[in-house]
């Protein structure tokens, strides 16, 4: 009796194994969340373009930053083929002057009060191309559509590791695959990684307002259409952390701001 029962259990286990292993063809990855956009933050007055000013500036680093880590891509022939020269991480993007620092996310952290903003227009895009994320650092709005593209003839997974939003990890095995995602809460920063290619990483700053910028290779950034007021600005770098400063903008005023990060001690020149 017991043997018969067990044989039945064994049969079910085998059947379950077959079912679990079945399922057949490859399918496109689905978006982790619906694309329904969250409403723009704030319910107050609109920003008056006639009085709006701007903050421009530069991000610099004081001292020599460490050399970016070398990347070995030989685990994937497609990545090797796409990158014939020596490859390095994008941690420190230092300008020709040895001081200016790119890939820094600069944003208004505090002081905006109760403004309302137009919904974000267009999409943010992150592309997996040549076994890298493009861009490496970027910003977007809460509720804005993020399009994730795989331009490589190899497979990637896009793994977002937020703390305040929902984590997701989607595979894109076929070249040209796309998926979309929206973040429902502001968060600075959300890291992305590809678990297949351990060197691939990127960061997105998600905000409920449009006042953010990424410093370019010369360390320059520009935040425009900012209403008059006193603001706390924060600059974020993936290794050097954050630094803040206060700035007051009058009507139609443009202020220059410089953020300076301190290089880590005992660094090897980049």
Partner 1 sequence: MLHRFSKFLAGCTVLLILAGSLVTSNDAGLSVPDWPTSYGWNMFTFPPSMWVANILYEHGHRLIASSVGFLTIIMAAWLWFAEPRRWLRWFGVAALGAVIAQGALGGLTVLFFLPAAISTAHAGLAEIFFCMTVAIALFTSPRWIASGAEPVDDALLRTVATTTTVLIYAQILVGATMRHTGAGLAIPDFPWMFGHVIPDHWSNAIAIHFTHRIGALLVTLAVLATATHVWFHHGDRRELTRPATLILLLVATQVTLGALTVLTQRNVWINSVHVVCGALVLTTSLVITLRTWRVRFSDVRGVRLQADPRRGDEVRLKPDTTSIGARA
Report the interface residues with partner 1, using CB under 8 A: 3, 6, 10, 13-14, 17, 20-29, 75-79, 154-155, 157, 159, 161, 167, 169-171, 173, 195-198
CB of 156 vs partner 1, minimal distance in Å:
10
State the sign of the Cα–Cα–Cα–Cα dihedral 82, 85, 91, 92: negative
CB of 197 to partner 1, least distance (A): 5
Least spacing, CB of residue 186 vs partner 1, in Å: 21
Q: Which residues contact 87 (CB under 8 A, 6 or more apart)?
A: 70, 71, 73, 199
Question: To which H or E segment does residue 139 belong?
Answer: strand 137-141
Q: Work out how close the CB of 155 gets to partner 1 at its nearest, in angstroms, rounded to a whole number.
A: 6
Tell me how crowded residue 20 is: count the other CB atoms within 10 A of its CB: 8
Query: In terms of CB distance, is 187 or 208 closer to partner 1?
Result: 187
Distance of closest approach, residue 168 Cβ to partner 1, in angstroms: 9
CB of 28 or CB of 70, closer to partner 1? 28
- 6 vs 246 by CB, closer to partner 1: 6
Asked if 253 contacts 223 with a C-beta cutoff of 8 angstroms, the reply is no
* Residue closer to partner 1 (CB basis): 173 or 264: 173
Q: How far apart are CA 237 and CA 91, in angstroms?
A: 9
Q: Which is nearer to partner 1, 15 or 251 (CB)?
A: 15
Residue 223 CA: distances (Å) to CA of 53, 118, 216: 9, 16, 13
8 A C-beta contact, residue 224 and residue 54: yes
Exposed/middle/buried for residue 43 (C-beta within 10 Å: 0-12, 13-18, 19+): exposed
Residue 14 or 35: the one with the smaller Cβ distance to partner 1 is 14
Closest approach, Cβ 116 to partner 1, in A, equals 35
């Amino acid at each position: 009796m017991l043997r018969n029962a067990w044989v039945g259990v064994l049969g079910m286990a085998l059947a379950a194994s077959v079912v679990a292993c079945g399922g057949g063809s490859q399918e496109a990855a689905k978006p982790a969340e619906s694309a329904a956009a969250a409403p723009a933050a704030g319910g107050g007055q609109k920003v008056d373009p006639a009085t709006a000013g701007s903050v421009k500036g530069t991000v610099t680093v004081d001292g020599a930053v460490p050399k970016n880590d070398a990347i070995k891509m030989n685990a994937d022939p497609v990545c090797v083929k796409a990158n014939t020269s020596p490859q390095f991480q994008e941690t420190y993007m230092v300008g020709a002057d040895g001081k200016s620092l790119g890939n820094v996310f600069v944003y208004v952290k505090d002081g905006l009060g109760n403004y309302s903003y137009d919904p974000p227009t267009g999409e943010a895009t992150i592309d997996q191309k040549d076994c890298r994320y493009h861009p490496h650092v970027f910003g977007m709005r809460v509720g804005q559509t993020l399009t994730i593209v795989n331009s490589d003839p190899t497979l990637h997974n896009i793994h977002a590791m937020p703390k305040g939003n929902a984590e997701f990890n989607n595979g894109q095995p076929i070249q040209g695959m796309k998926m979309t995602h929206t973040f429902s809460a502001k968060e600075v920063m959300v890291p992305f990684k590809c678990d297949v290619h351990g060197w691939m990483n990127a960061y997105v700053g998600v905000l409920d307002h449009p006042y953010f910028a990424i410093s370019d290779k010369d360390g320059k950034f520009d935040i425009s259409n900012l209403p008059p007021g006193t603001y706390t600005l924060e600059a974020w770098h993936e290794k050097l952390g954050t630094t803040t400063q206060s700035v007051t903008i009058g009507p139609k005023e443009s202020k220059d701001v410089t953020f300076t990060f301190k290089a880590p001690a005992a660094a090897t020149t980049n």
